[in-house]
A and B are shown apart, each in its own frame.
Chain A
Amino acid sequence: DTAVSQTPKYLVTQMGNDKSIKCEQNLGHDTMYWYKQDSKKFLKIMFSYNNKELIINETVPNRFSPKSPDKAHLNLHINSLELGDSAVYFCASSGDSRETQYFGPGTRLLVL
């Protein structure tokens, strides 16, 4: 009964590959987010979706493309992976007030 789940938990891949990270929330929330946390623990928002529509798209390379098939899912697809993409990626969701965010456990991506 995990509230926000992500798969995979770990992802090791070669430069140039394309990979996807999946996120699902069973909280009935309308808003979902993707964050990137670098090695210095700085957490930066990448995208935000509300009811399957993009509402925030921070300065992120267009190699990153979020996809929301329904409001319970927000997947992140990354093309042509680069070394600098290595980080921990967190999915989060929030309810109507958007005041509290619930985070997934993170996906640790290592690009070799």
Chain B
Amino acid sequence: SQQGEEDPQALSIQEGENATMNCSYKTSINNLQWYRQNSGRGLVHLILIRSNEREKHSGRLRVTLDTSKKSSSLLITASRAADTASYFCATDSTGNQFYFGTGTSLTVIP
């Protein structure tokens, strides 16, 4: 049963602009995480937000979580060409496994 679903599927912005991507999920969660995948590489953990948190920051990343709407957003501020990658949300309900979506493909144009 797939949990996280990212939106939009693809996003193209100019360098310096902000990028916002969203994630919706279906059941109650313990935490939600965002991962990044560069082309041809494995996923890299970016940030984790717990179910009792509403917002979290890490550098140029800002994550929000709305458990009533079962949704999360990832904001990347002042984007750079190096931010070009696919971004996945992953939800953890049981502490044993994560459900990933199909990701948002972000292209930052220099």
Contacts and interface: CB of A to CB of B under 8 A. Distances in A.
B43 A45 contact: no
Contacts, number: 58
A105 B40 CA distance: 8
B95 A43 contact: no
A55 interface: yes
B86 A103 contact: no
B103 A105 contact: no
Nearest to A104: B42
Tell me what chain B mostly uses at the interface: helix, strand, loop, or mixed.
strand
Nearest to A94: B98
A64 interface: no
Contacts of A90: 42-43
A41 B45 contact: no
A101 B96 contact: no
A66 interface: no
Interface of B: 2, 31, 33, 35, 37, 40-45, 48, 86, 88, 90, 92, 95-103, 105
